[in-house]
Amino acid sequence: MRLVFAGTPEFAVPSLRVAASHGDVVAVYTQPDRPAGRGRGLSASPVKQEAQRLGLPVLQPQTLRTLEARRALRALRPDLMIVVAYGLLLPPKVLATPAFGCWNVHASLLPRWRGAAPIQRAIEAGDAQTGVCLMQMEQGLDTGPVLLSQVIPIGVEETAGQLHARLADLGAQVLADGLALLRAGMRPAPRPQPDEGVSYAHKLDKAEARLDWSQAADVLARKVRAFHPWPVAEAELAGERVRLHGAVALPLAHAAVPGTVLHAGRDGIDVACGSGALRIRALQRAGGKVVTAADYLNARGDLRAPLARS
């Protein structure tokens, strides 16, 4: 099969490897190089780096809406286009170019969490499970029929970064299954998405990472997990703005004002919330590195001494 692959971030790399092992990848589309790092020099996407390592040709158009871009795609004579977190909209004429259309690997159980940030939104919402869908693409946002899917549980303390890695591998597995069926002449049967249960995973915004202590502790604990490793939750802790890299909710009854430090010790720093308390286990001061609560308290003796208890 003549395959075209379109993807950009690290999430798409395992799927690119699968595509390269299941067919003739005639081109890899990825977004143009972007400024990155302190020097703001141009940096290639993870997919471009992997494509170059595999010796695959790379195309980086700014858009696929131009006549030139469509002609370039048609010239490749693709049987199938595989799209994994590409980041550019595919117009109808592009979707119709490959013989078998375009397949998308999406990190949710559609129709739940269509959109840009399905992994983070699933954790933030407290979902017990998620998964990956292989979808036949159409014009709508993640609305196409599902070809194959796999379900996995979400760990009670799993972060978005940890779940991201697991779903990237699962997505590659589901893609491999679909390609194997297609090569054997057994095209996966499309299943239309139900009208019930639709939800949208809107793109993350840095402003969301600022925690409000008046919210419930379990809500805040999910935000800490969902926003790690980006944008990382931050909060006011005893007069200091810190970033939270690890925290759990405690079903602790109290009458304290939200934001009050209830306890500070080697096991963590417990902060009063609208209901319950958030135990901070790992955090980061401005300009500092990530440390445990115990190490943080070495520099904040004012918290430890009066509040520590057995």
* pLDDT band, very low/low/confident/very high, at 303 (cuts 50, 70, 90): confident
Say how far apart CA 152 and CA 76 lie, in whole Å: 36
Question: Hey, how many other C-beta atoms are within 10 angstroms of the C-beta on 21?
Answer: 12
Say how far apart CA 271 and CA 183 lie, in whole Å: 56
* β-bridge pairing 146-153 and 129-136: antiparallel
Q: Residue 37: is its pLDDT beyond 90?
A: no
pLDDT of residue 89: 87
In 3-state terms, what secondary structure has residue 224? helix
90 is in an annotated binding site: no
pLDDT of residue 35: 84
Region 300-306: mean pLDDT is 71
Q: How far is CA 260 from CA 58, 236, 270, 272, in A?
A: 54, 10, 9, 5
234: left (phi over 0), alpha (psi -120 to 50) or beta: beta
* pLDDT band, very low/low/confident/very high, at 308 (cuts 50, 70, 90): very low
pLDDT of residue 309: 39
- Least confident residue range of 167-171, 178-182, 303-307: 303-307
110 is in an annotated binding site: yes
Angle in degrees, 0-180, between the axes of helices 13-22 and 46-54, rounded to the nearest 10: 30
Q: What angle do CA 241, 245, 249 make, to 5 degrees?
A: 95
214 is in an annotated binding site: no
Region 251-259: mean pLDDT is 96
244 is in an annotated binding site: no
Region 232-260: mean pLDDT is 97
Q: Residue 40: is its pLDDT beyond 80?
A: no
**Of residues 110 and 304, which shows the higher confidence score?**
110
What are the residues whose beta carbons fall under 8 Å from the beta carbon of 31, sequence distance 6 or more? 8, 45, 60, 86, 87, 88
* pLDDT band, very low/low/confident/very high, at 310 (cuts 50, 70, 90): very low
Angle in degrees, 0-180, between the axes of helices 13-22 and 160-183, rounded to the nearest 10: 20
Sheet holding 80-84, edge to edge: 58-59, 24-29, 2-7, 80-84, 102-106, 129-136, 146-153
Residues 88-126 have pLDDT tens digits of: 889 999 999 999 999 999 999 999 999 999 999 999 999
Region 289-296: mean pLDDT is 96
H helices of 141-159, in order, are: none
Region 174-201: mean pLDDT is 96
Q: In the predicted model, what is the mean pLDDT of the chain?
A: 95
In 3-state terms, what secondary structure has residue 296? helix
What percent of the chain stands above pLDDT 90?
92
Residues 193-226 have pLDDT tens digits of: 999 999 999 999 999 999 999 999 999 999 999 9
* pLDDT band, very low/low/confident/very high, at 304 (cuts 50, 70, 90): low
Region 62-90: mean pLDDT is 96
Domains of the chain and CATH, by start: 2-201 (3.40.50.170), 206-307 (3.10.25.10)
Question: Hey, how many other C-beta atoms are within 10 angstroms of the C-beta on 293?
Answer: 23
Among candidate residues 8, 12, 24, the one with its CA nearest the CA of residue 175: 12
Q: Residue 166: is its pLDDT beyond 60?
A: yes
In 3-state terms, what secondary structure has residue 238? coil
Residue-wise DSSP of 201-214: EPPP-GGGGB--TT
Q: Which helix (H) or strand (E) holds 165?
A: helix 160-183
